[in-house]
């Protein structure tokens, strides 16, 4: 995967936002949620949530946005409709290896990675995280289940390694990542929830019903 190229010299050190996503197709996205509420319903929710996230965040001029999609072949799928967000491949490996790869391959400057299944996410949340990163080495957005919905790294003077041995999709994900950043300045953004279970879907249904649907 080639490094992202800046649009001009003035954006060489611009803040970068990467939205990580799965291809929103039946049987691939939100499989855990699908086992509880039905695969079709879960996939439709994810499509809406992904569109909502991209349309809310990708057009903001305060940062440059890219969409990192897995599987890699789906970077050219018709669904990825944002004209302003270049598509990136995540590559192989667990989530930590894929995020570390993204941090390494972006142009210089502060970078934040967010998930694509957080109904309440907004541009103000991302801007707050970039501001926190101004006086920290890393910023994390906690989730109630022990994980996190956002991670950002200043990436100077070097790119930190935050993901070795992290136990993903469990109550120790945030704690394991923080342990890898021992001795570094860590800031914490607001707590937001993703939607992986029927209970979370029901609890966030009011937000989910206001999501922007995907374009036809």
Is the predicted pLDDT of residue 134 greater than 60, yes or no? yes
Nearest CA to 95 out of 121, 117, 67, 115 is that of: 115
Residue-level pLDDT at 180: 97
Contact 150, 140 (CB under 8 A): yes
Residue-level pLDDT at 7: 42
Contact 66, 85 (CB under 8 A): yes
Q: Which two tokens stand for residue 107?
A: 């142009």
Confidence of residue 132 (pLDDT cuts 50, 70, 90): very high
Q: How do residues 199-211 score in pLDDT, each as one tens digit? A: 888 876 656 556 6
Residue-level pLDDT at 48: 87
Residue-level pLDDT at 209: 55
Q: Which residue has the tokens 């006086």?
A: 135
Classify strands 111-114 and 148-153 as parallel, antiparallel or unpaired.
antiparallel
Domain range summary for the chain, segments of one domain joined by +: 15-208
Can you tell me the distance from the alpha carbon of 51 to that of 211, in angstroms, rounded to the nearest whole number?
8
Q: How do residues 37-91 score in pLDDT, each as one tens digit? A: 999 999 988 988 888 898 899 989 999 999 998 887 765 455 555 556 788 889 8
- For the domain spanning 15-208, the CATH number is 3.90.550.10
Is the predicted pLDDT of residue 191 greater than 50, yes or no? yes
| pLDDT over 70 percentage in the chain | 83
Tell the burial category of 160 from Cβ atoms under 10 Å away from its Cβ (0-12, 13-18, 19+): middle
Is the predicted pLDDT of residue 194 greater than 50, yes or no? yes
């Amino acid at each position: 995967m080639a490094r992202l190229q800046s649009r001009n010299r003035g954006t060489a050190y611009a803040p970068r936002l990467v939205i990580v996503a799965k291809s929103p197709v039946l049987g691939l996205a939100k499989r855990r949620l699908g086992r509880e509420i039905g695969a079709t319903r879960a996939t439709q929710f994810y499509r809406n949530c992904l569109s909502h996230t991209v349309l809310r965040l990708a057009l903001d001029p305060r940062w440059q946005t890219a969409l990192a999609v897995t599987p890699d072949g789906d970077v050219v799928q018709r669904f990825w409709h944002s004209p302003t967000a270049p598509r990136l491949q995540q590559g192989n490996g667990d989530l930590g290896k894929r995020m570390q790869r993204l941090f390494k391959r972006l142009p210089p400057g502060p970078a934040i990675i967010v998930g694509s299944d957080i109904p309440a996410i907004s541009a103000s949340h991302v801007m707050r995280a970039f501001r926190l990163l101004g006086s920290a080495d890393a910023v994390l957005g906690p989730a109630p289940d022990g994980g996190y919905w956002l991670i950002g790294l200043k990436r100077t003077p070097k790119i930190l390694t935050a993901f070795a041995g992290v136990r993903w999709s469990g109550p120790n994900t945030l704690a394991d990542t923080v342990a890898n950043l021992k001795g570094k300045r860590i800031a914490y953004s607001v707590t937001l929830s993703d939607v992986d279970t029927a209970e979370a879907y029901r609890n966030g249904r009011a937000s989910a019903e206001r999501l922007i649907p995907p374009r036809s």
